[in-house]
A and B are shown apart, each in its own frame.
Chain A
Amino acid sequence: MMNENHDSFFRDKLYDLESPLNERVSFEEVMERRKKKRRFIFWWNPKVYVVAGLFVVGGLGMYLANPFGKHQVPVSTKDLTSKVVSANASKNSKSESKEFKENLHNEHSQELAAATSKRIDQVQQNHLTIERKELSNSDKSAQFKSNFDGDRAESNLGAVSLKRKQARRGYSLLSENQNGIFENQIFETSKEYLKLSHSKSATLEDFLIGKSNNLADKNYTWNNQNEMVRSLALNHLKIQYPEFDWASFNIDLDIPDRPILPKMPNSKWYAELSVITGSNNTINFEEDVPLSVLGTQYMAQYQMLLLKDLENGSMLGAGVQYSEWVGNGQWQLNKNEMIQHIDTHMVLVSAPWQPKKYARFIDTTYVPANNVQTGNIEYRIGKISFPLAYRFYTQIAKTPLRVGFHLAPGYTTVNSGTYFTTTDYRPIDKARHMTIDGKLSIGPMIPVTKKWTFVIEPSLMYQSFLTDNNSTVNGKFFTGLGIAILRKL
């Protein structure tokens, strides 16, 4: 009851107490702080970086994974080249037609067909003499084959091969009087030819006429696939080849309406998303030291990486990661000291013929005491880091394994509470600190599809942040388990 009276006394005196304010406390200051707080949230909120990173990596991944979708680079005819010319009779065309089925861009193929047809008419009308060579005495079917290198040849994306099959539809692009005249022919296209075919057909005709007139001076040879190849380098041999009748030239440019899709080479780029958790536990106080701390510290890390295959069983890459680091513990302070013990008592002093009086006696003694103080403690750190990662791939007993390592400098985005080690603790100031993280992991890889691979990673991690003008490193090792998903781009 007395305690309640004392409490109510304090409440009455202090509950509605007003206290004078300092000059710096003002409404304007409050508004200024509010603005700063908002700016802080906008610029330094880690979610902003994570979302931005996801967009960047996702966009890059989509682009690299599907460059011929909406980002398709049209195969321009200006770089197309024809390097192989061969001819055979048409009798074998049906049996060999399958091997000629290749993709060709519709627009270019139609232009090419139209231009070739015009060219043939032109040849017939003008009675041009073209160098003709008879490849064999038999009546074997003619074969036409032309290979095109695509636009992406420069970037090693592979050549586009174009083969055309013989006529199978019962009609020919040639006039009737040409049908049935099958000889082995040579047809040559060139960069210039196709360039012109893509631009102006009138120019094409002029070009072909000129080209045909010059063919008589050219020499031909055969490669090891029995294909005739024009080689300027063989000019000096002055080889004389048998002629053939160009007028018997018969060709069908029946091209399917399919787009040219250059074959993609194997990508060297990979995207990786990983999540990992770890902990560091201290379960007992250290009794030999005055101050000891026990507790549990957890961390979680979310990482995105873009990795390049170095083609020697390893990958190198970089990315962004967000880590959270939380500690909960208890401190204990052991102090052996002398405690002042005060005893007071009232003594009645009674003397004859004197009024009774009370005297207060104070007895002070010092007693040894083991003073143990304890308290709870916690902290929380969030940080953004930019890892430089290395991955090495190996195999043990037919199990594919991945060894991973990364080193990640960064900075704290959230830091609050009191950081502790096993023998010390100190408050973390609110300033942004530099951080250094590291991770070493090894774990099995589980291929899911050709492009997706799942990795389980037991890991050893190091988390730290720098204080005292980056002169003090506050770091801890964690053991944990993570999972990663690797996608080939």
Chain B
Amino acid sequence: MALCLRYCQNQEEAEDAMMEAFVKIYDKLGDFRFQSSLETWMRRVAVNISINKIRARKNIWTDISDAEYEIGYQDFSFDQLNVDQLLKLIEQLPVGYRMVFNLYAIEGFSHKEIADTLQIDEGTSRSQLAKARKALQAMLNNLNLGKA
């Protein structure tokens, strides 16, 4: 559920995606070829379903100007952030950033795999990831400023 929640916009959409994923898993279980662990395969199915839902909903590739995030970089201590805050940060990312960041940073996909999955160029994946990181840093910076 948390996996779907990281990709989808809200709780309801994530629940829908999760149930669709289970339907698909149930139907396609016979096609599982044991080339990976069952958990990995199920995660992959859930990720694909979530991505498809996002794709069907709206445009995902945004190219926000770098000027918006041109702020000084500082080394933050993430340890003070709890899981809910981390999820909140990811949820605030633009959809395209969020998908690439999730796939690369959390799921551990390579840029080639992301490009194949999302049907984009590898360069696009790299740039979206870089911008996602910048955006996260900017949000963390603001968070830190708010605390100060």
Which residues of A does B touch, CB under 8 Å?
Answer: 2-3, 6-7, 9-11, 13-15, 17-22, 24-25, 29-30, 33-34, 37, 331, 339-345, 367, 369, 371-377, 416-418, 425, 427
Contact = CB atoms under 8 A, between A and B. Distances in A.
Interface string B51-69: 0000111111111110110
19 contacts: A6-B133, A7-B106, A10-B90, A14-B86, A17-B87, A19-B2, A20-B1, A33-B19, A340-B68, A344-B72, A345-B72, A367-B67, A373-B62, A374-B63, A375-B61, A375-B96, A417-B56, A418-B56, A425-B59
Interface string B23-38: 1001100000000000
Nearest to A27: B22
A13 B58 contact: no
Given A10-B86, A11-B108, A427 B56 contact: yes
Nearest to B86: A13
B6 interface: yes
A340 B101 CA distance: 25
Interface of B: 1-2, 5-6, 11, 15, 18-20, 22-23, 26-27, 55-65, 67-68, 70-72, 75, 78, 83, 86-87, 90, 96, 101, 104-108, 120, 133, 136
A19 B55 CA distance: 24
B86 A24 contact: no
Contact of B61 (A25, A33, A372, A374): A374
B59 A331 contact: yes
A372 B63 contact: yes
Given A14-B83, A376-B61, 19 more contacts: A2-B75, A7-B106, A10-B101, A11-B108, A14-B2, A17-B83, A20-B1, A21-B1, A33-B20, A34-B27, A331-B59, A340-B68, A367-B67, A369-B65, A369-B67, A371-B64, A371-B65, A373-B64, A418-B58
Give me the 7 closest cross-chain CB pairs, A-B, nearest first.
A7-B105, A19-B2, A375-B59, A375-B61, A17-B2, A19-B1, A30-B22
A373 B78 contact: no
Contacts of A37: 23, 27
A376 B26 contact: no
A372 B65 CA distance: 8
Contacts, number: 103
Contacts of B22: 30
A25 B15 contact: yes
A335 to B, nearest CB: 10
A374 B136 CA distance: 21
Nearest to A378: B55
A13 B88 CA distance: 13
Interface-central residue, A6, A18, A344, A427, by most chain B CB under 10 Å: A6
Nearest to B78: A9
Contacts of B19: 25, 29-30, 33
B80 to A, nearest CB: 12
A7 B78 CA distance: 11
Contacts of A30: 19, 22-23, 26
